[in-house]
Structures are given as C-alpha cells and as structure tokens.
A and B are shown apart, each in its own frame.
Chain A
Amino acid sequence: MVGVNMKQNNYILIIISFLSGLLISGFYYFLFDKIETVKKETRIQLQKSFFPEAQFFEEVNKDTIIVKDKNNDIIGYVVYGSSNKGYGGNINVIVAFDNNGNIKDFLMIEHNETPGLGTNVNKEYFRKGFIGKPPLKEELPLSKDEFITKLGIYPVSGATYSSLAVSYALIDAGIKLFKKDYGEDNTLSEEYNEWDDIFFFMNN
C-alpha cells in the first residue's frame, strides 16, 4: 500500500515546498522595506536617547558613530560592540561614550539571553556600575569575582554569563572606538595598543 502511494504522490512534497517558498518570499518582498525602516528607526531612537542634546550623528563606519552638538563640537561616540560569551551565544550592545572615551551608558540590543534573567543586564542598577569607566580590559571585569573588586557591583543574579558577556562586549566596543582615527583634535587613539588587545581576545 505504501509502495503504491510512494509512486503516485511523491510530487506533493515538491509542490508544498514550492508553494511555501512562494508564500514566504511574497511576504518578505512586501515587508522588507518596513522591516529595514523599523530597524533604522530603533537605532536612531536609541542613539538619541543616549545624547538628547545631539544634533548630528556622523557614521565613521557601520559600528562607530561620532555624535556632535549644534555647534559641530564632538560630544561623544556611539559604538556597537559584540561578544560571543553570552548564555545563548552572541550578544550585541550599543555603547555611548563621552568625550574622553569613558562609558556613558550602554544597552544590550540583540541577544538570545533568557528573558527575565539575562535581560536584567539592561536594568539600571547593573548599568550604573559601568558608567564612567574606561572600556579597557584592565578596568572592566573579566571573571565573576572581578565585578565586586573592579566595579563594586554584583553580576546579575542567575545571569553571570550574560553579565560577563556585557563586560566583554564593552571592551570590544572600546577597541573599535580607540582603533579609529578621529582627526587632529582627538587623542583617543594614542593610548591604544592594538596587538595587545588582539592577543587578549585570542587567549580568552
């Protein structure tokens, strides 16, 4: 009975797959622009929320943005950093740096962390510990115990991995920030030793 069926109706799977592909691509085709606009809008909204007084956002590259006020003076930087040390793999953070390259604020934006646990890294009590710190591996925690010694806060309870991943992502953002040459009036890139950090990431 099965043999007969197999000969007669095998083409049905091809038809179903074809229709499925057609349907999905149709939906994607009509909603592609909408999805892209939404993504862009959320990015701009986030950047504005960090620097309410900002007028211009100059993209250096897709990860680094210079923030200027209405007099065209640099008031800070927005950098997208990432780390693969999250509990659910990759996490991406958006980090706001002030003029001196210290962390002004940050937010984990793309992640696979547990809702209600790992996502608590975006809560204020945790973010506060990082504010004002330079994004260097000497200053930010690299293990569970260093949260209390370096920042004076505890990692988010039940989410040590996510907390550490945030710390690593901030260092990553720091590397991206310092690696860029921002012109004459900026000394950020001078104190940065690239090879040192590449070795550091290879070893961790």
Chain B
Amino acid sequence: MKKNTSNWQEFIKGIYKENPVLVSTLGLCPTLAVSTQAINGISMGLSVIIVLTFSNLIISLIKDYVPSNLRIPSYIIVIATFVTILKIIIEGFFPTINKSLGIFIPLIVVNCIILGRAEAFASRNNPLKSVLDGIGMGIGFTIVLTTLSTIREVLGNGTITLKIGDIGTIIDVGPLYKLLGLVDDNGEKAPLVFFLLPPGGFLVLGFLMGTINYLQRSIKLNLGFIKRRVNKNGK
C-alpha cells in the first residue's frame, strides 16, 4: 500500500481517481438494479455511505486481532450487523424509503464495494484514513448512482423523481421531449422504456465509464505534456 498519502487524498480518490463504480467496477449489481429512478439512486447511495463508513471504522479497529484466515467471515459479520441496524432504523423512521428500496437494503451486505474496501483498505490502514476512504468511496458511489438513474429516468420515463412519500416533487421533462420533437401520434412525450430495462442500464453505464476513462486519459496526457515542456524550458 502507498504510504505518505494525505487524508485529503484518501477522501477525494473515491470520487474521481478510484471511483468504485466507474474505475474499479465494484458494486455493479445494485447499481444497475436500483438506478431506474433518481430518488432510488440517492437513497441507496446514502445508505451505502453510512454502512461503508461504519464498517470501515470497525474493521480498521479490529484488524490487528483478526487472524488472516478468519478475516472474510469477520468482515461480513461486521457489515451485516450495520446493514441490519440500518434496515431496522429505516423501517421504524422512514417507512416510505423502506417501501421503495425494499430488498435492496439487505443486499448491501453483499455489495462488493463494502467488502472490497474492507479488504483492500480498512484492513491495512488506520481508523481515520479508513473512515475518510469510506465517506469518499460512498460519495463517489452516490454521485454515479444518481447520475445514472437520472439519465435512465429522463430517457426511459420522461421524469425526474425526487419524491419520498409526500415530500419532494416529480419533475416532468415532457417539454424537453416536445422541444426535441420526440412525441407520439397524440403529441405526448414518447420516452424509450428500453433505458429502464437492464440493457439500457448497461448501455448508459458503459457511456459513463467511457467518459471518465477518456477524461482521465486526456488529463494524464496533458499533464505529461506540460511536465515535459517545463523540464525542457528549465534546462
């Protein structure tokens, strides 16, 4: 593991440089499953941030006491504990979120982002860095999930749902469809349900991955170019 990285770097890497979904391709299963409505992306992302932060903290604290052959079962128990507690809290205080996310909350247990970060980071770093890593990775996951689900919902249903229960609103992007001429015979907006189905999810995710790869590569190239330039002038 790299040493001497600053706390800020540990936090920010999950959002861009080592984004769990777009760069490390972790946690694709919940990503594709819940990203059909904007609000689902946001609430799933927040749940993952909470679980990831706490499990990273605890795993980093107990790492010295857990023998290497028992680490996976131990980590899974820690993660499952936090997910179960989260599920109980959501059931008690946010019944509407519980209704819309249903099965996906318990499935956070087997979300490979959380086990992946426990294994690759929290079990080798101190608690502070592990917490920062957890928050950063969680935010990165949330951003991707929200972007993906917003794109899919706009293309597939013509709306942006930002509503839980009676709170919030549903934005209708029908006027945008009409502006672009994407209407059916009755003059109503005609969204492509394809984008709400799994193939559409893969397609949008692929485009997002391509975009971030292109960005990262072109930035790297430009940086190298500038560096060489500076070196040349220096000589």
Looking at chain B, what size class is its interface with the partner chain? 35 or more
CA distance A106 to B25 in the complex (A): 41
Q: Which residue of B lies closest to A9 (CB)?
A: B67
Count of inter-chain pairs, beta carbons less than 8 A:
90
**Secondary structure class of chain A's binding surface, majority of residues:** helix
CA distance A191 to B83 in the complex (A): 49
Are B77 and A17 in contact, with the CB atoms below 8 A? yes
CA distance A111 to B99 in the complex (A): 8
CA distance A119 to B80 in the complex (A): 27
User: Given A5-B69, A114-B33, A115-B101, A35–B88 Cβ distance below 8 Å?
Assistant: yes
CA distance A101 to B70 in the complex (A): 59
Are A117 and B68 in contact, with the CB atoms below 8 A? no
Complex interface bits, B64-95 against A, C-beta within 8 A gives 1, otherwise 0: 01111110011001101100110011011101
Interface residues of A in 1-28 (CB under 8 A from B): 2, 5-6, 8-10, 12-13, 16-17, 20, 23-24, 27-28
Are B68 and A31 in contact, with the CB atoms below 8 A? no
Q: Which residue of A lies closest to B85 (CB)?
A: A27
**Secondary structure class of chain B's binding surface, majority of residues:** helix
Are A20 and B91 in contact, with the CB atoms below 8 A? no
What is the total number of residues of chain A having a CB less than 8 Å from a CB of chain B?
A: 32
Are A38 and B81 in contact, with the CB atoms below 8 A? no
Q: Which residue of B lies closest to A13 (CB)?
A: B70
The yes or no answer to A52 lying at the interface (CB within 8 A) is no
The yes or no answer to A186 lying at the interface (CB within 8 A) is no
Interface centre among A2, A5, A13, A115 (most CB of B within 10 A): A115
Set A2, A88, A117: member contacting B69, Cβ < 8 A: A2
CA distance A28 to B85 in the complex (A): 8
Are A115 and B100 in contact, with the CB atoms below 8 A? yes
Give chain B nearest CB distance to A193 CB in angstroms. 36
The yes or no answer to A84 lying at the interface (CB within 8 A) is no
Give chain A nearest CB distance to B19 CB in angstroms. 23
Are B78 and A88 in contact, with the CB atoms below 8 A? no
Are A117 and B197 in contact, with the CB atoms below 8 A? yes
Q: Which residue of B lies closest to A20 (CB)?
A: B81
CA distance A9 to B64 in the complex (A): 10
CA distance A8 to B66 in the complex (A): 10
CA distance A111 to B36 in the complex (A): 16
Give chain A nearest CB distance to B40 CB in angstroms. 5
CA distance A10 to B81 in the complex (A): 20
The yes or no answer to B132 lying at the interface (CB within 8 A) is no
Can you pick out 24 interface pairs between chain A and chain B where the beta carbons lie within 8 Å of each other? Answer: A2-B67, A9-B66, A12-B67, A12-B74, A13-B74, A16-B74, A20-B78, A28-B88, A31-B91, A31-B92, A34-B92, A35-B88, A38-B91, A38-B92, A88-B103, A112-B102, A114-B33, A115-B34, A115-B37, A115-B100, A116-B157, A116-B196, A117-B193, A157-B193
Return the 10 tightest CB-CB contacts between A and B, nearest first. Answer: A116-B36, A5-B67, A20-B81, A34-B92, A9-B67, A116-B37, A31-B92, A112-B103, A35-B92, A158-B193
Interface residues of B (CB under 8 A from A): 33-34, 36-37, 40, 62, 65-70, 73-74, 77-78, 80-81, 84-85, 88-89, 91-93, 95, 99-103, 153, 156-157, 161, 193, 196-197
Interface residues of A (CB under 8 A from B): 2, 5-6, 8-10, 12-13, 16-17, 20, 23-24, 27-28, 31, 34-35, 38-39, 42, 88, 109, 111-112, 114-117, 119, 157-158
